[in-house]
Amino acid sequence: MKRRRVWICVLPVLVLVLGGWWFLLQLKVGEVIPSRVFRSPQLSAERLRRVIRTHDIGIVVNLRGTGRGKTWYGEELAVCAEEGVDHHTVTFDMDGPPPRHKVVELVDLLESTQRPILFHCLRGVDRSGWAAALAVLADGGSLDEGLAQLSPMSGHFCRRSTCPQHRFFASYEEFLNGEGIANSAGLFRFWVDEVYCPDAYDASLEFVSPPPSDATSGTEIELAVRVRNRGRVAWRMGPEAVRLGARGVGPFLEAPENAVEIFRIRGAEIRDLGRSAGGLGHVSPGSERLLTMTLRTPEEPGLYVIQVDMVHEFVHWFSEMGRPGPMWFLTVEDEVNGSETTEGMISGWLPARRAAGLDPVEALSCPGRTRCARRTPEVRPRTRVPE
């Protein structure tokens, strides 16, 4: 009885203390890497301005989503513009693994800025904690130092074995243990660029024969693609599971600079051009399957970017989470007018690549500011782990 009375007295005090700690934690601007990387919850316009001036912030990274039409988002953009600070929005779902291209984007931001960077989400706990841990590893800190940013002491409560953010770092830890080495900034960069991919979406696709670069509108193109499951999760194939698909964007007046990102823009007008038939059963990790499909070309003539990719129906295209599927430029000609309809639409880009003996499909795998330069043997070898 006496013990019960003690708990009755202590429990309300404990709840108040923990509640106060939790409340104060969500008001805190935390220094992740001294004078370089900071994390915070959503700040008011005036407090954001003070933080920018106090810490000489050069980049604000919003991890909450676009927030278009919402007061906080408009105020945040306005303050950053007035203070001469770059503003970036990086969106990802906390209920699943971090998309590969989002991880690359954040590491690129960390490496590109010479001024301090501020990460923020709503409460400054989950997304900001994950980004802070990423920053520590990208700076060469230890895995334990990074995970301290994603711990109960930082406000993040979870079951590590099922938490997607912790599983991301567990994958890196497994890589380190396999190599028998400790983290370094260069090694983490290598892992992000060359190794990391969410297991369920880790695929390689290769055309059996090159796809056509010209076609008539409204016609069918037969494609054969050799697909390999590079992850550790089996794919269940079928109409309501995983299939091979094709999609396209266009028409364009000239070749887009970064075709990969077009397919990742939310709300972009992307045309669904077909799915593979059949293909039931499972594709186990490490195995390959030859898939065929019929692609129907758009009715409107012009220059299109076409992508072939695996798709988990009603969930994700694999490119949204992992590596981009193969892409190529397709010039669609009017059935009546032929090439006259599209004359001048590709501005000599495709013929010039052909004349130079360059592959248009390879060109679209690494357009603009992607990881191509990092894949050259002189800069970052693919065949060995940097020491």
Tell me the pLDDT tens digit for each residue of 217-250: 999 999 999 999 999 999 999 888 999 999 999 8
pLDDT of 14 strictly over 90:
no
- The three-state DSSP-derived secondary structure of 121-150 is CCCCCCHHHHHHHHHHHHCCCCHHHHHHHH
SS (H, E, C) 315-365: CEEHHHCCCCCCEEEEEEEECCCEHHHHCCCCCCHHHHHHHCCCCHHHHHH
> Is the confidence at residue 350, as pLDDT, over 50?
no
How far apart CA 184 and CA 166 sit, in angstroms, is: 19
Note if the bond before 251 is cis, omega within 30 degrees: yes
Residue 297 to residue 215: CA distance in whole angstroms: 7
What does the alpha-carbon distance between residue 87 and residue 61 come to, in Å, rounded to a whole number? 6
312 closest CA partner among 202, 195, 197: 202
What is the token pair recorded at 195? 């190794």
Residue 343 has pLDDT above 80, yes or no: no
Indicate whether 28 pLDDT > 60.
yes
CA-nearest of 111, 42, 112 to 71 is: 42
> pLDDT class for 255, splitting at 50, 70, 90?
confident
Query: Which residues in 313-347 are b (16+ Cβ under 10 Å) and which e?
Result: eeebbbbbbbbbbbbbbbbbbbeeeeeebbeebbe
Q: Quote the CA–CA distance of 344 and 342 in Å, as a whole number.
A: 6
Q: Does 7 have pLDDT greater than 70?
A: no
The CB-based long-range contact list for 181-188 (8 Å cut-off, 24+ gap) reads: 181/385, 181/387, 182/142, 183/137, 183/140, 183/141, 183/142, 183/143, 184/140, 185/138, 185/139, 185/140, 186/386, 187/385, 187/386, 188/107, 188/137, 188/138, 188/140
Of 87-96, 273-282, 286-295, which has the strongest mean pLDDT? 286-295
The per-residue pLDDT for 91 is 85
* CA–CA gap between residue 99 and residue 196 (Å, rounded): 10
139-153, 195-209, 345-359: which has the minimum mean pLDDT?
345-359
Instruction: Indicate the residue type of 205.
Output: L
Q: Which residues of 177-189 are buried (b: 16+ CB within 10 A; e: fewer)?
A: eeeeeebbeebbb
User: Can you give the pLDDT at residue 11?
Assistant: 53
**How far apart (Å, rounded) are the C-alpha atoms in residues 374 and 377?**
8
**pLDDT for residue 366 is more than 50:** no
The pLDDT assigned to 220 comes to 93
Among 45-49, 212-216, 336-340, which is the least confidently predicted range? Answer: 336-340
Contact 61, 106 (CB under 8 A): yes
With vertex at residue 301, the alpha carbon angle to CA 300 and CA 302, rounded to the nearest 5 degrees, is: 120
- Specify the amino acid at residue 269: E
Q: What is the dihedral of CA 117, 121, 123, 127, to 10 degrees?
A: -90
Write down the pLDDT at residue 78.
Answer: 96
Provide CATH 3.90.190.10 ranges for the chain: 14-195
Supply the CATH classification number for the domain 14-195. 3.90.190.10
Domain 201-372 falls under CATH 2.60.40.10: yes
**How far is C-alpha 169 from the chain's CA centre?**
16
pLDDT tier at 68, thresholds 50, 70, 90: confident
Report the chain's mean pLDDT, rounded to a whole number.
81
> What Cα–Cα distance (Å) separates residue 221 from each residue in 210, 345, 363?
12, 22, 21
Contact criterion met (CB below 8 Å) for 319 and 309? yes
Amino acid at 19: G
Q: pTM for this structure? A: 0.78
Q: Which residues of the chain form CATH 2.60.40.10?
A: 201-372
Angle in degrees, CA 11, 17, 22, rounded to 5:
125
pLDDT band at 158; cut points 50, 70, 90: low
